[in-house]
Structure 1
């Protein structure tokens, strides 16, 4: 059975390739199947998430643990694995690093939303400095490095490490201590935090694109309710958003006006206002990323 660590996952898949894989999946005549994501509470306010999905070729099961308290213990906050099976026979084919697959497919999903909905010109502001922030920085600059980049994080040491990481890859990132002005001027904003309260004010440009990927529980909130209520909204999965997207659940939502990414790919037009793409994750995206990893083989393998 093939076993891929985080580095090997990234060697086999670009964000553009996974974005295309997700688009192909969403536009397929026969859709994959997946039950609702399963949650199990663990000690220390931890969570175990189990996400299976299958189509006629492959089946995947991702198990992920999330322990926010680990950040203060110098331990990974998110840990997990993705088991890939041959769907017709049930034969195990691969075991992939879970956090790497999650970061890869989440950022690729945001990239697909930006490509489909339209990526405005202007500065990119990333709020947060963890693994999802890093993945989105890579995805949104893959093949396009001329955009001005800003980063804000509640933890200055994380922000500084994020900036250093970018500089090692030829990206100049400007630190933002007080984000109010940056929020007003940014053209694209990524929110990748675990905040329980809004990380930005409702002062964004009317043509801004917001990629909100951090909150995954009803009690979490990165985007202020007033901004949600005036934005055009696209979600990765409507059922998941109605159950888990704290940003939307804490606003006065008109769910009939919310489109899915599949709707957008099929020509749907969201309501006017700032553009907000909210993703909470789905096993379909893990399936798409796993397919790319198993299809693409590095030259030295």
Structure 2
């Protein structure tokens, strides 16, 4: 029988620092192929994502549904699996929990970007959104950056308190804040990981800020105000997780920016992005290549 890793086992198999190394290796591997993903609208406002990728050893397909209407219910908004095949024989070798892969690899991508781009990597760290992505980003940044203080903002006070308590369990100082815009003045390290149903940050960030925005991954979704995005473009830098984000980064599209001219994380890792001052906005929309890196990490 094909091994199946549930959410807990998948998370254990994808430790943040090992996953960052896998991401770096993937970005340097010329054998990697990532076809365009299929996004199929579903009745009721949801979407089915079909995301294939392969290298010289394995092939994967991520099959997940995104159902915004599940917010506030016992059902998760993201459900599905990542299926791993042996590229030579076609044999199915492993099935990973899709939402756990999404959480872990997205946080690892943000961590890799922060390690390369954040002017002040020790924070304090502001996390806006206290769901699965908030937790995975907290744990990844704690593992890979010298962060000692965290501030959490969420629409749900209870969720924010739970994430702050997890930060304390990791040895960090943690506070729940009601106004994330006010917290921007004190936090040079920022992650936004909300359902992206509306703007959650409007104020101008610090000149030494690094913002990882991961919640909005369609043109209609948004977390960051247009003035904030334009300020980062004019006074600092904006980096995309992949060039595919030019069609998906709702925050930037709605700000009227020229996304085609922006650098990607591959450019950063390969040293093609010159250093510079001002705030850094890293916009992540997701890519099957990141899921392939996760599968490579889980399979050794």
Give the TM-score category using the shorter length.
Answer: over 0.9
Aligned to 1:253: 257
Cα-to-partner distance string for 1:2-41 (whole Å, 9 max, x where unaligned): 211111122222111111111111122x141122111111
Aligned to 2:116: 116
Aligned to 1:299: none
Aligned to 1:266: 270
Moved more, 143-152 or 110-119: 143-152
**Is the contact made by 1:83 and 1:94 (CA closer than 8 Å) also made in structure 2?**
yes
Shift of 1:79: 0.7
Shift of 1:256: 4.8
**Is the contact made by 1:233 and 1:270 (CA closer than 8 Å) also made in structure 2?**
no
Distance 1:117 1:145, change over 3 A: closer
Distance 1:132 1:146, change over 3 A: closer
Aligned to 1:41: 41
**Is the contact made by 1:233 and 1:271 (CA closer than 8 Å) also made in structure 2?**
no
Give TM-score scaled by structure 1 length.
0.92
Aligned to 2:54: 54
Aligned to 1:243: 247
Please say if 1:174 is aligned against 2:179. Answer: no
Q: How does 1:4-23 map to 2 (within 5 A)?
A: 4-23=5-24
**Is the contact made by 2:34 and 2:288 (CA closer than 8 Å) also made in structure 1?**
yes
Distance 1:171 1:147, change over 3 A: closer
Q: How does 1:172-251 map to 2 (within 5 A)?
A: 172-231=173-232, 232-239=237-244, 241-251=245-255
Shift of 1:263: 0.6
Cα-to-partner distance string for 1:106-125 (whole Å, 9 max, x where unaligned): 00101111111235133100
Unaligned 5+ runs, structure 1: 296-301
Please say if 1:80 is aligned against 2:109. Answer: no
**Is the contact made by 1:218 and 1:244 (CA closer than 8 Å) also made in structure 2?**
yes
Secondary structure in structure 2 of the residue aligned to 1:197: strand
Number of equivalenced pairs? 293
Aligned to 2:91: 91
Shift of 1:145: 6.2
> What is the root-mean-square deviation in Å for CA atoms of aligned residues?
1.7
Q: Within 1, Cα distance between the matches of 2:75 and 2:168?
A: 25
Partner of residue 282 from structure 2, selected from 264, 277, 284: 277
Shift of 1:272: 4.5
**Is the contact made by 2:238 and 2:262 (CA closer than 8 Å) also made in structure 1?**
yes
Q: How does 1:145-164 map to 2 (within 5 A)?
A: 146-164=147-165
